[in-house]
Every structure is written in structure tokens, then in C-alpha cells.
Structure 1
């Protein structure tokens, strides 16, 4: 039976007792139906997992007893940065979830010409929702490192904030395929993905001026959430921790 993993935004040390936030307690007790005395794993996004036991649960609170911690070593050697244009909520959620599962190091949400209108009154709520998506993906896939999630920002500011060995922007009309760069030795890659409808010509020009290389994946045009997953998958295959697949 697989043991449950839960993200806690808290300082964690071995052998301490931890009081769970109400939302986390509700999830453990009423969704996972965890009982007092049962075990789980908790992490706080800093590469450590801790074995834990549920030691108390009532209508007001739930408590965990932490045991030994251990360093988790399943991070890719490739640093990947996803510069993702703001898209429709369901597509944005999918992109963040799958990027996390694929080992992304940092996510930079940006506003582009074809992004949906931005409701400034909901910025904090949306940021919290995205963080929960990322944390939940880490719980599921076994990562103990929480990718950095930047605040939503204009495209030019997002592009300027990223410094990597290789920067790529998807463009269906590009002459080069992503795999044309497979002989380059890199330790970090940034990927710029447009929203529904792609990037405007002015935005592509801005990216190329900032040394982003235009690449295509194939002969078909992918949805924004498919494009981000496909590109990050290829990056992990070319330069990351999916190298054994090359022998198949």
C-alpha cells in the first residue's frame, strides 16, 4: 500500500510534533481517511522527506509526530525554467501540474497579448491556487523540492528575469526543431510558451532579441498546455534525467 505524502508550509525537524493547518487536516482525515496511529510522509519543499505518524485528531485539530528525515535525490540535473503565458484557468492548471511532474525548477507566469484579461483583485487568490497545484503535483510524483513559482508579471519583465545556458521559444514557423540543439551541452534551459493563439509577432521579436531561439516540435500545432509538457519532456530527454530512454 502506498503511503501518503503531504506538503506542509512550515519549518520541519526530526522528532518534533506538528499541528496541521485546517485544510490539510481535513484532507488527511476526510479525504484520505487517515486514522490515529497511521503513517504518512511530509515535506516542506526543501528536498527533505520526513516519516510521520498521526497522533491526535478531533474536530478542532490534528497533530503529527515527525520521525527521521531523509534527503530526497530524485531532482533532475537539468535546471528548467518554464516561462508560461497566462492561459485559461484549466489550461494553466494543467501546465503547472505537468511541468512540476516533469521536474521544472522554476515557473514564470507572464502576461501576453493573447492572455485572458487579468483581474487584479484576484491576483493573490490565483497565486495561492497555483501554489496548491504545484504542491499537490509534488505530493503525487515524489518530489521533495517545491519549484519556485514567480508572481504573474509582464512578458518583458519575465524574460529579463531568466538567465539560462539555452533559451527557447516555440514557434510553428521556426526553421529549427528543438532536437537540432541536441549536441549542445547545457545545464539550464528556459522555455517560453504562448497562450491560446500563441505569441504575437512583436512578442516573438522581443524574445529573439533577448537571445531566445525559435524552435518547433513537429508538423502539428499544439495547445498551450500540450506544448509546455511536450517541450519539457524533450528537454529532460536531451539533457536531463531521462537519458536511459536513448538506449531503447
Structure 2
């Protein structure tokens, strides 16, 4: 079944009705060509998912009667936030899509010293972020997520360091790190670690000054191995290893 996201205000628990609005209406009626009586999955983004039977389709909304309600079981037991140095071209699209599939909760685009892409004003940043958020939404539907990851407006490196202070653990992938590997770091973690920030540089990586500033903010510098990974590959690799060791990738322990 196709999955759609709504907020709690669109759910009438007493009447067991769910109102789907905005772009999903066109997608249901024009793209998927669903009809009255068809079943769909609906997620409230707050821990519950519903099986709904379409009751009405009109220009402004789709109304479904839910016939089943259950807790979402597709979210990982840890919250992982990606701090991604903004890459060139459409690489960020791929990064958002695939990390959403793997369970990321938040994505923070970061402007670093070696970031080539420049968004000169707030309007450009908002336009780009809206596009990225739509990519996250589509990936969340496809992968049966319980939430849509939040894509933030781009931050400076300094702003991102302030943002990460609330995480239990922060990890920065650095190709010049030779003392501490990710494998050793993760194996020493305990069950109290429930929020992790992972840091990936743009093309060219982080500068020594940026890594030093991160380490001074208690961010753990690690190597991912002997081979240099592209920026769009490093995030997948780091997130996969974190989700395998501390999350639910590969199945819960």
C-alpha cells in the first residue's frame, strides 16, 4: 500500500476519519489513480500508523476511514543527525534520499571552508531547503518510515557546532585520523547513548582547523578505514555502521 503523512489535526479519532490535503490529493487521484474503496497507509508522524479505506476524493481533499491503528515499528531506537558539508551538483539529493531510507532523523546542511556551493540569501536557502525536504518526504514514504526527517536551513560550521551540543555523542569522519577507528569507538558505547551526530565534510573534506574546533567541542574524530570515500559515500557508510552497532539495521539485537 502507498503511504502518506498527515498531522494529528487531520485525524478525527471519534469518527475514525482522516483528511488528506495539499499535494497528496493530486498524487492519489491523478498519479496513482486510486479510487474509493482502495486501501492506503497513513502515518501521523507521532508514533502511529493507520490502514485507511478511501471514502471520498475531491479537488481539495481525500477522506479515508481508518480500519486499523497500530504503533509505528520502523523507527530506530537511536536518533541520528547528519551534519553534511554541502556538496556540489545534485549529490545532496542522493544523500538525503538514502540517509532517510536508513533511518536518519535530522539533516543539517553545513557551509564549511571548502564548500563550493554558495546560497547568497535567505530566499535561496529556503528554496533549496524546501526542495530537499520534499526529497526526504518521498523517501520516507517509500521506505515506510514513521516520520519525515527534518531538513534544516543550512548552517555555518560554527552554528552547527552549537547545534550538536545536545547530542549524546558526536562523530566526525576525518581522513587524517590514525589513532581512533569508528569500530573501536562504537564498541565502547552503552545503551544510554540515544542521540548521535555524524559529521561529513564536502568535497575536499574538513580543514585541520575545523576538525580541531570540533574536537574542542567534544566531537570524536574517527577514521572509517584505509580508503578515502567520496562525500556522498562517507555519510552512507558512517550511518550504516552506527545503525548496525547501536540501532536496528540488520535487525534488533
1:20 equivalent in alignment to 2:21? yes
Give the 3 Å change call, closer, same or farther, for CA 81–110 of structure 1 in structure 2: same
* SS at structure 1 position matched to 2:10: coil
Give the 3 Å change call, closer, same or farther, for CA 39–75 of structure 1 in structure 2: same
Cα pair 1:87 1:195 within 8 Å, conserved: yes
Instruction: Name the counterpart of 1:52.
Output: 52
> How do 1:83-162 residues align onto structure 2 when only pairs under 5 Å count?
83-115=83-115, 116-120=117-121, 121-162=123-164
Instruction: Name the counterpart of 2:228.
Output: 221
Cα pair 2:54 2:63 within 8 Å, conserved: yes
Offset of residue 20 of structure 1: 2.1
Offset of residue 10 of structure 1: 6.0
Q: TM-score, normalised by structure 1?
A: 0.88
User: Could you report, residue by residue, the CA deviation over 1:76-110 in whole angstroms, capped at 9, with x for unpaired residues?
Assistant: 11221211112225211111112111112222221
> How do 1:169-208 residues align onto structure 2 when only pairs under 5 Å count?
169-175=172-178, 176-181=180-185, 182-185=187-190, 186-208=193-215
Offset of residue 42 of structure 1: 1.6
* SS at structure 1 position matched to 2:175: coil
Q: Which moved more, 1:46-55 or 1:5-14?
A: 5-14
* SS at structure 2 position matched to 1:229: helix
Instruction: Name the counterpart of 1:5.
Output: 3
The count of aligned residue pairs is 242
CA–CA distance in structure 1, aligned partners of residues 125 and 251 of structure 2: 41
Offset of residue 19 of structure 1: 4.6
CA–CA distance in structure 2, aligned partners of residues 178 and 172 of structure 1: 12
Cα pair 2:93 2:135 within 8 Å, conserved: yes
Offset of residue 123 of structure 1: 1.8
* SS at structure 2 position matched to 1:11: helix
* SS at structure 1 position matched to 2:248: coil
CA–CA distance in structure 1, aligned partners of residues 65 and 113 of structure 2: 48
> How do 1:31-70 residues align onto structure 2 when only pairs under 5 Å count?
31-58=31-58, 60-67=59-66, 68-70=68-70
CA–CA distance in structure 2, aligned partners of residues 223 and 177 of structure 1: 18
CA–CA distance in structure 2, aligned partners of residues 230 and 51 of structure 1: 34
Give the 3 Å change call, closer, same or farther, for CA 10–168 of structure 1 in structure 2: same
Aligned CA-pair RMSD: 2.1
> How do 1:69-88 residues align onto structure 2 when only pairs under 5 Å count?
69-88=69-88
